[in-house]
Structure formats: C-alpha cells, structure tokens
Structure 1
C-alpha cells in the first residue's frame, strides 16, 4: 500500500501593492512600451513586494510557516513604504527584470531579515543580498536593450508614492500559460 503523498503548492510571502498607486506604475510601464522591446509586463493585480519565495512546499508546512510569521510580526506595527526609483536586475548590461524600489530607511529589510531567521529554522535557505523591489516587467529578448537602458536612466528618480503596510500575505502561485494566478492562503495583520 502506498503512503499518502502530501499535496504541494508553489508559494511565497508578500506585501500587496496599494491599488491607488497602480496608475503611476502603469505610466512607468507605458514608458517602457515606447521602446518596442520584448517585455512581458506584470499585471497590476499581481504586483507585490516578495518577502520570501518558498517554491513548492507541502501543504502541511503552511501551519509552520504561519507560526513563524506570527512569531515575527508581533514585534511589528503597520509601516509606510515610499515607492521610488526604477532599476533592473541583474545589471544595465544584461537586463532581465525591470523593477521599482523603495526608500533606503524602509522597515521592510528588518522585517525580511527577522522572517528569514525563522524560516531558516524550518529548513529554508537564507536570502542573499535581499533587495526590496516591485517587479513591473521581464525582458524576454535583448531586442531594444539600448532603448530600455535609456528608459531606466530617464526613470531612475521616479516617485510613485507612499503606501501603508498593515498586512502580509502567504500566497499560492499557480502557473498558467497566461501567467501566474495568485491566491491568498493566509493573511497576517500587523499591530
């Protein structure tokens, strides 16, 4: 008789984007669309700040992850994020990901570091060089690289605005040919 195999889900922990900031972010995407480059844009309903990407986990890990999150966030009250700056990963010579960043003094780094310590106890690898960012597009081919680089430089000091973070979400990611579909598994309210 076969042992019961646990169901797995692809998951991550994230801060959702305040939808009031979407029009300004769509304006930034429009600037990149003018480059006529092969970029796959992130739809606004999927935009978020990733705190931890878990990958495929067993469903029974959800409770352990939730306990770890609750253990950390009891020390955190809601806080503001100031979204500004445009950049790319890994660098301007090899552009793969277009992103918007945050003010330097953002508490998100401390939150992520504290969460990472707890997740390490559960067997997850620690993040190396965590950079808080909001992915707005993925470059699919080097076509138009110079134009993309010029757009990044033009938008380097873009100011998107401020949002208040009052919750973080454990999300399930289902990959489809049309792009990923995200669903909340658990929502954690900050103090």
Structure 2
C-alpha cells in the first residue's frame, strides 16, 4: 500500500502574487531568519491530510466532489498580515482573507465528510495564506513591527473558481506541489 502526503487548497491568483512579494521583501529587510513560501506555492489550505493511502484516494475525491458540488464560484479579499500563534511569539507569518464565511462553510462541510471517512477533525481552522515561518527569534521586534505595518494592507480580490487536491513532496529545496485533481466550482 503506497502513501502520499496530500492537502486540499485554493491557489492564489497569479496577479496577486507581486503584491504579496512586495510584503515579503519588506520582511527580508528585517534580516530575520524566516523561511519564505515560494510565490508559486502560495495557497489557502482547506485541509491538510498528511500521509494518506493512495487506495482510498477515490473515496476522498468523491467526498470532496459531493461537497464542492454545493458551491458556486465566489470572491474573496486578501487583506491584512499577522502571525501565529500571535505577534509576540511569531512562528508563522500570514496574509489574511477578509469576508471568509463561504470558505469557513466550505471547510466545515468538507471536514464533516472527512470525519465520516475516518480522518481526524480539524481542531481550529483559520483562513490565511502562509508567507513565511520564523526559524529563530533573531530580530523578532523588527518582524513584529513589519507585521503591524501591514496589519491592514489591502492586497486585492480574487474569484475562487476551483479547489485542488494536491500532492506534496518534501525536498531539501522546499516542497514540490502537484495537482492530483482539480474540482471546478
């Protein structure tokens, strides 16, 4: 039985990536130890599955397809910047999603189906796009100031027209993502 590392995601529109790259460049000026997400990989994770059996992939795809069949395409606003767990203890730097009720509804319905299939329920879901991970506390105050500077930044709007089931292959150079199946809304 083979396994793959997989997750379900909404990819960021290419025309918004230069605006996020400007924010990343500002964080790079802090000279902090941050591992940045490659622009090509920017996405909003709806569910991280971890290692899953490829034999059960059809069941998973059917469940996703059934739930997403209830949804039409919709618009979201990419806005704001913050950190997990918080601005004083920075592990993850993210940009946010404004007006995210449709995404939350989508996540909750998907998660209910995934639990029915025997997968773990998400403890807490937060709509965000990870842009970097802090590797040490070096220059934390500069990073905190940059987060605060961009806390209300307006990045732009995008239409969500599809959701992708992705395979993630970890490499020393960073993860490589491959679409296994794309679900049109």
The normalised TM-score by structure 1 is 0.95
Alignment partners' CA distance in 2, 1:46 and 1:10: 15
Would you say how many aligned residue pairs link Structure 1 and Structure 2?
185
CA contact (8 A) 1:81 1:106 kept: no
SS at 2:78 equivalent: strand
SS at 2:52 equivalent: strand
Q: In the alignment, what sits opposite 2:166? A: 171
CA contact (8 A) 1:38 1:141 kept: yes
* Aligned partner (choices 48, 53, 61) of residue 53 of structure 1: 48
Q: In the alignment, what sits opposite 1:103? A: 98
Question: Alignment RMSD, CA only?
Answer: 0.8
**Could you say which structure has the larger radius of gyration?**
1
CA contact (8 A) 1:9 1:172 kept: yes
* Aligned partner (choices 55, 78, 83) of residue 88 of structure 1: 83
SS at 2:87 equivalent: coil
CA contact (8 A) 2:5 2:169 kept: yes
SS at 1:76 equivalent: coil
| Matching of residues 6-45 of structure 1 within 5 Å | 6-45=1-40
Structure 1 runs (4+) deviating above 2 angstroms are: none
Q: In the alignment, what sits opposite 1:127? A: 122
**Displacement after TM superposition at 1:129 (Å):** 2.1
Alignment partners' CA distance in 2, 1:183 and 1:37: 30
SS at 2:174 equivalent: coil
CA contact (8 A) 1:97 1:135 kept: yes
The unaligned stretches of length 5 or more in structure 1 are 1-5
